[in-house]
């Protein structure tokens, strides 16, 4: 079972392109980036530019701004600061690599035969849910889509009980013998 959040969905797509889906039971894209395409990504050029700034203050301010964009309902301050610290530990090289990565979406998501669940927060300020869903459906019409009305880019935090229950239900369905 693979679960990828945001750019983690592109990692799953690339994994599937390289290895296929024979060794997995299913996958979940949580506010997943289907492709690094302007139609699917909300533009924040100043934030993305500053994420790779060599100036520490500029870089850290961009991380804080980016992280704030992840939420329709901000998390508790203590959790936000922990998330901020974790994000700040990512290297500038990794940030630059993200902006240049390739996504083998047609070879990965497009060829996937195991169950695929796409989950998007309706209030996502980073990924355009409908455009992403439309592109994913064009590649793989067998997928399932769920939208969380109260969430932004992080439904697993913003609507954690519902997310946990929905994920458990998806996994339980995969574990049942199929006819």
Structure confidence by residue, pLDDT tens digits, 59-103: 999 999 999 999 999 999 999 999 999 988 876 777 777 777 777
Question: Which residue segment(s) compose the domain that 132 sits in?
Answer: 9-36+103-146
Asked if 54 and 141 sit in the same domain, the reply is no
pLDDT of residue 31: 97
Rounded Cα distance, 5 and 144, in Å: 16
- The tally of domains found in the chain comes to 2
State the pLDDT confidence band at 110, using cuts at 50, 70 and 90. Answer: confident
Q: Give me the torsion for CA of 97, 156, 158, 115, rounded to 10°.
A: 100
Residues in contact with 112: Cβ distance below 8 Å, sequence separation at least 6, in sequence order: 16, 21, 27, 140
My answer on whether 55 and 92 are in the same domain is: yes
Q: What is the pLDDT of residues 21-39, one digit of tens each?
A: 999 999 999 999 998 888 9
User: Is the predicted pLDDT of residue 124 greater than 90, yes or no?
Assistant: yes
Do 50 and 86 belong together in one domain?
Answer: yes
Mean pLDDT over all residues of the chain?
A: 91
Q: Is the pLDDT of residue 52 over 90?
A: no
CA angle 90, 96, 98 (to 5 degrees): 80
DSSP state of 26: -
Quick one: 26 and 74 in the same domain?
A: no
Q: Is the domain of 89 the same as that of 66?
A: yes
**Beta strands, E only, the chain:** 2-5, 27-30, 116-121, 144-148
Our CA dihedral for 67, 103, 48, 160, rounded to 10 degrees, sits at -10
Q: How many whole angstroms separate alpha carbon 37 and alpha carbon 34?
A: 8
pLDDT value of position 178: 57
- Evaluate whether residue 23 is within a structural domain: yes
Residue 4 lies in a domain: no
pTM value? 0.91
Domain identity same for 71 and 93 = yes
Instruction: Look at residue 3 and tell me if it is in a domain.
Output: no
* Statement to judge: residues 84 and 108 lie in one domain: no
With respect to residue 125, please indicate whether it lies within any of the assigned structural domains. yes
pLDDT surpassing 80 at residue 145: yes
Does residue 18 sit within a domain?
Answer: yes
Residue 176, pLDDT score: 67
Q: How far apart are CA 3 and CA 1, in angstroms?
A: 7
- Cβ–Cβ under 8 Å, residues 34 and 135: yes
Please report whether residue 110 resides in a domain: yes
Burial class, 21, CB count within 10 angstroms (exposed 0-12 / middle 13-18 / buried 19+): buried
User: Both 135 and 51 in a single domain?
Assistant: no
Q: Is residue 169 part of a domain?
A: no
């Amino acid at each position: 079972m693979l679960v990828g959040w945001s750019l983690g969905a592109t990692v799953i797509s690339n994994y599937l392109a390289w290895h296929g889906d024979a060794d997995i039971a299913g996958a979940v894209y949580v506010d997943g980036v289907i492709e690094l395409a302007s139609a699917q990504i909300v533009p924040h050029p100043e934030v993305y530019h500053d994420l790779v700034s060599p100036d520490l203050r500029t870089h850290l301010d961009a991380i804080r701004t980016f992280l704030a964009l992840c939420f329709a309902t901000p998390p508790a301050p203590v959790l936000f600061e922990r998330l901020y610290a974790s994000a700040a530990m990512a290297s500038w090289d990794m940030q630059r690599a993200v902006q240049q990565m390739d996504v083998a979406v047609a070879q990965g998501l497009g060829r996937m035969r195991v169950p695929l669940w796409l989950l998007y927060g309706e209030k996502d300020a980073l990924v355009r849910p409908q455009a992403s869903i439309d592109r994913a459906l064009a590649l793989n019409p067998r997928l399932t889509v769920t939208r969380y009305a109260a969430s932004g880019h992080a439904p697993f935090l913003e609507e954690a009980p519902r997310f946990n229950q929905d994920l458990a239900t998806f996994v339980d369905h995969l574990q049942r013998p199929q006819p």
